[in-house]
Amino acid sequence: MRNVYLVSFLLFLLPACSTFDSRSPEEIVADRAQKRVDALMAGEFEVSYQYTTPSYRTTEGVGRYGTRWAGVGMWLSATVSKVECLGGEHIDRCKVGIKVLYKAARYEPTVTFLSEDWLLVDGDWYLYQKIGE
């Protein structure tokens, strides 16, 4: 009988351990933001779209989202260069800076910087996108 309790306890405990992330909010957001831009550069708009807030996904489809990033084909690289989280004791918003090296036709490669807002929603971090833009 003791083994049944032990197994039940472990089955309850394992999912909780797998969802706990000991990294700082800045590290988590940097990782998610980099995965999103990597997906964009690979043309995987559906994957990248999953990093947007759930509320955005209820109003804008992946097709509309993809049109926002039509120029991503010119990107040579995109790297998260800075993450700054705000919110005091309870951090729920982060600013992300992304350095993009791109090459437009007939021009030399150029660097630009993107600024993104990431929000903590139901325990996970998502890119905030304004609807209709």
Sheet of 75-86: strands edge to edge?
75-86, 93-102, 110-121, 124-127
Domain extent listing, the chain: 25-127
Q: Is the pTM of this model over 0.85?
A: no
For the domain 25-127, what is the CATH code? 3.10.450.100
**Over its length of 133 residues, how does the chain's per-residue pLDDT go in tens digits?**
555 444 444 444 444 444 578 999 999 999 999 999 999 999 999 999 999 999 999 999 999 999 999 999 999 999 999 999 987 788 999 999 999 999 999 999 999 999 999 999 999 999 999 876 5
CA atoms of 30 and 94, how far apart (whole Å)? 10
